Structure 1
Amino acid sequence: MTKVFSTFTKITLILGVTLTSCKKDKEEEVVMPESAYRPYHIVMGQGSTGESLTFSQGITVEQMRDANHTITFNNFGFEIPSVRTARMYTSTDGKTLYNLNFGGGEVAKYRYDGGQKYTQLLSTSVQAAIGTANPRWTKIDDNNALLHHVVVEHSYTTDSVYQTTTSTIKLAVVNLSTMSLGTVRSFPVNMDADGGFIFRIDAPVLQNGKLIYGCGKQKMNTTTNTAAAYTGTDAMSLVVDFPSLENEHIIRTNAGGAKGNTNGYRTPVAHQMDNGDVYQVSTSKGMSVLKITNNTYDASYVFKLDDVLGHACQTNGWFYVGNGIGYAPVLNADAGASSSANWDIVRIDLNSRTATKMNLGQSFWLQQYQWASVIEGKLYMAITPLGGEGRIYIFDPQNATPDGFTTGAKLQTGTDAFYLGIF
């Protein structure tokens, strides 16, 4: 069912006042202008820590390109249901939105009806099958999405001395036409010899009939009996057959000193090129671009962003445009942690293994940024300071200079609000 906030509710939301009403006195008719392109969706979140709200509205390419146009969620926008920040995707034609209600254990499908109007078509509870109300998911094509979750179990001696950890991987295929579950499978993965274990997987990409999942690692602190982040000695991915989800195995690399996590955080971490190769980023401090050919890491490919940019780099993922060029939100980890406003947009050239920091004029907080759209060979991103005004940035991959972009529509936010992307 479509949810639309009242005028009072939306104003209080933007001002950061306690939400007290979810009814709308009068729904205004909004007629979207004609466009020569598929519909796009611009999405805003509010609440940078803990539980947050997520809102969407339609936007045309012409509006995005218009530097005099202003996009606001003040008194406008559809709330995408989610206990925490929604995880969404759209169909290739932009007419359908898919959402994982993170914390609610449900996936749903919405028809886009123009403006701020979305109609829920189907929904499915996945909590029983995947074993949690907080799974991750990834749309891999217009037919299928993958749900994934890791159950971590620690074993102890009778006198509470830590012994070992087992990670149980849980996977499920979602049919996006019917929003029903197909293959569901679980299997254990044992810890490494050095004590590291998989605590999270995410962002699979399909290569030669196999899914490649990025992996996040932790290690138990035996003094406190608590798990902590762990970069280990290499980077790794989980590989399974698709659609059977069988024949699981781990692939690894330490090319150029690569190590750490490859699972990302809401942003895609791996993309397949026209020649079939997959490029994946390691997302821990000490960021590297990794190459996977025929489901195996290419040990000869070394591209470490720290060396190129001259500071410790960290990312949550990246976006591929074409011809070996992509753009990544990159944290200057020497200047602050991921929660700080020390993020830049960096153009990366996979072929020359060079990187250019784009001259956007300021740093941003991009910890939760989810999606960017490629339109006619250029990358469109919606970027604002947390709680401040920003722009739609249109990056031209053929321009390798720091100023290789134009600015489009103005973006308004509100208290503790930020844009998640253009879908």
Structure 2
Amino acid sequence: MDSVRVGVIGIGNMGVAHSKYVFEGKVKGAVLTAVVDEQKERLQWAKDNLSEEIHCYSSLEELIQSEQVDAVLIATPHHDHPSAAIKALNAGLHVLIEKPAGVYTKQVREMNEVAAKSDKVFSIMYNQRTKPIYQKLRDLIQSGELGEIRRTNWIITNWYRSQSYYDSGGWRATWAGEGGGVLINQDPHQLDLWQWTTGMMPKRVRAFCSFGKYRNIEVEDDVTAYVEYENGATGLFVTTTGEAPGTNRFEITGDRGKIIIEDDKLTFWRLRVPEPEFNREFKGGFGEPECWKCEIPVKGQNPGHAGITQDWINAILNGTPLLAPGEEGIKGLTLSNAMLLSTWTDNWVDLPINEDLFYDQLQDKINNSTFKKNESNLQTLSVDGSH
């Protein structure tokens, strides 16, 4: 095989973007051969803006039966990512899913199990992993340059969304339509990077989520979460869609200094000697380790969405390791599920979470949602994957 026939499932905002760069040949070895959407006008858009030769289908089942693709890129609504991936994998297709992996971990775990039993390449659109600044951060931590991690803090409040944004679609910011708010819709990349760069998942979470605090919505729009790690380190994750101006500041402290990413700059306050060594040998009164402020150069380009798609195609054609294996989507989702469950139960949540309890709580929210998942709503959802 010297090329991969790709089908895009869901021609909403993200599906359109993916279709365009694949069709334009920006992913070497990939050929766009088909698209899927329930709405005829979206399929007509593909004919008008891509090519008359693109095969258009109204369902994934039709696409599978057509045998026109080797792989699918899934850009459907959040709730449908796992079910679509399972169908495609069982049909012998390679799969790349948009983030998040799903809405609840029980569903995503089933998807991962199917992927593990298949011999197909399964990836997730964690395109922030392609950014050189986060790759450099991961390298500094994983190589031991920062020492043992003691604290992680991420303030990510620059997700401002107005009421008019939420009012633009009845499915937005509803349990039935999206399965959550800022955690599931805006923050999947940060929740992934939080654990991917540090290599650490918490052992327990205590979170305080506010629902409709700043906007007339039913899901969470303000979150403060505290986590504890196995090695004794602690962490804080703060996020909202209701503040302006917002902040995006990721700070990680280790026993060899601290690293801060803010304003697209990576700064390393590096201790000349590790703090434990200084503490052991210092015999004075007041004193602290000598510290150097280092502006770490970050080189390279960010290929973004096309970069993850290229990585996936390379793995299919050449067997190269994936930058973003699909199975890892459950990690960030575990964090967001744990934060919600902690709030709903007003208690600590240990990881791994009680998946059945979370599912039951979520279903109760969905059943009482202002947006009901009837056939017309699902059709509305299929054409918009914007965040």
Same fold per superposition (TM over 0.5): no
- The two structures have a TM-score, normalised by structure 1, of 0.26
Q: Which has the higher strand share?
A: 1
Structure with bigger RCO (C-alpha 8 Å, 6+ apart): 2
Q: Normalised by the size of structure 2, how large is the TM-score?
A: 0.28
The structure richer in helix per residue is 2
